Amino acid sequence: MRETHTAVVLFIGDRAYKVKKPVDLTFLDYTTVAGRWAACEQEVALNRRFAPDVYLGVGEFRSPGADVSEPVVVMRRMPAERRLAGLVRKGVDVDDALRAVARLLATHHASAPRGRQVDEQGTRDALSSRWEDSFGQVRALSADDTAPDGVAEIEHLVHRYLAGREPLFDMRIAQGRMVDGHGDLLADDIFCLDDGPRVLDCLEFNDALRYVDGLDDAAFLAMDLEQLGAPQAAAFFLAEYGEYSGDPAPPSLRHHYVAYRAFVRAKVSLIQAGQGMPGAEATARRLVTTALHHLRASAVGLTLVGGLPGSGKSTLSGALADRLGVTLLSSDRLRKELAGIPAEQQAAAAYEEGIYSAEWSGKTYAALLDRSATLLSRGESVVLDATWHDAQQREAALRMAERTHSNLVALHCHVPDEMAADRLTNRALGASDADRDVATAMAAVELPWPEAVGIDTSGSLEAAVTQAMSVVHPRPDNQAWVFRRPYMEPD
């Protein structure tokens, strides 16, 4: 026998019989026999989408002389030793199994029902509403109507992410990413058979909760794999799902959905704790911590990397963007793009002349911030490589970060004057045209930048990157969850 917060499953011979508990948990009501019949029939119909040879139909339990029978879902019993959760706990290599599950899920999503009702559940406001429902339910489960430790920060991070990301969710809907999915993808309910995986026990009690972004559906299993102590497997599964589904989702959204799924499971664990299940309260605390870690990782960031010519800012910017797996935008390259000049073509001019005039610089920085705003609103963190010697441009960047509810970090690169001069004299041709005379002129008018953290780039590049990373990502959360994506120019 196995028990969940909503059902009891009896294993007898080669069959499994699942009986619904007569409970009302606000988000489902199984208190009537008619309601349990409907839920059983719905469960069989929906789960046959993923495992048609497992769900045999709806049977009934009846006491002698009773007028009313109890509905029961009848299933073919799966071999316990092939349960994905058990394989992961034993340390078995499950990459092939996860790849097969990712392919199965992506294939289902490709042909899953879509439409207005499904899309409505994919909006930013719909996701926000589900978060708020869970926050309220978690508080209601506490004797004094307070939330467990960490939930207050979770609420703050959720509100900040969602506030600036409406274009991202609108774009996901336009891309057809909302599907009638599984809704409850756990490793305990996946069996790795020789002829392919069997995925059981989808969410049947509320259609709206099954209408999700396909990535959200996949994130449930990723979250569960992490709880089983396999974060690398979790990241591998999401990467495989992304490949099979052709989904270019930003890393921030992956982290956000994993956090959402962890918090939903924390709520379930708190319900189970109230029903007396041993260890459920500790599980809830662990899941709250997981949600918090992923929400911190999901924070969308704008990193300004500035400094005078020869300070190493462009080299650091590229290395930092690569380490973070985020988009890099360069003022040098954008300036030439606006002027219709190839990035590597020289356009040298004296300070504030040619395409380096005040007017051209204004256009360049405005375009830089405009493109950044588009990317940030779509959940893409950005590193901006520019001198940032103009305090007005720094203020404009700060206002843009506030509008998009993004975290801003400013880094100011510096080296001894003689090292900067040597770099400018000996560097290879590239997007920058600045020489020693331009650097000297800029240094004469550069205003202090007290908000920026100084980065010494006179040593090794790795040392500078390590110093910068300690500022951009001061917490070592989720180091196994680094998603690297190629830069995609915003439309």
Same domain, 147 and 187: yes
Q: Are 262 and 247 in contact (CB under 8 A)?
A: no
- Residue listed under structure tokens 């690297």: 484
- The answer, yes or no, to whether residue 489 has pLDDT greater than 60, is no
Residue from 264, 321, 318, 259 nearest 291 by CA: 259
Residue from 340, 346, 338 nearest 429 by CA: 346
Could you tell me which residues are beta bridge partners of residue 190?
Answer: 199
Same domain, 90 and 141: yes
Same domain, 232 and 268: yes
Residue 344, C-beta contacts closer than 8 angstroms, at least 6 positions apart: 429, 430, 431
Same domain, 239 and 308: no
Same domain, 231 and 340: no
**Domain limits for position 184:** 80-298
Question: What mean pLDDT comes out for the span 280-288?
Answer: 91
Amino acid at residue number 311:
S
Confidence of residue 134 (pLDDT cuts 50, 70, 90): very high
Last residue within a domain, chosen from 298, 316, 346? 298
434-477, pLDDT tens digit by residue? 777 777 888 877 888 999 999 999 999 999 999 999 999 776 55
User: CA dist 293 to 76, 298, 483, Å?
Assistant: 39, 9, 15
CB burial class (10 A; 0-12, 13-18, 19+) of residue 246?
exposed
Q: Are 304 and 388 in contact (CB under 8 A)?
A: yes
The 3-class secondary structure across 178-247, one letter per residue, is EEECCCCCCHHHEEEECCEEEECCCCCCCHHHHEEEHHHHHHHHHHHHHHCCCHHHHHHHHHHHHHHHCC
Same domain, 342 and 227: no
Q: Give pLDDT, residue 126.
A: 95
Question: What mean pLDDT comes out for the span 351-377?
Answer: 88
How far is residue 354's CA from residue 35's CA, in Å, rounded to a whole number? 75
How far is residue 87's CA from residue 187's CA, in Å, rounded to a whole number? 9
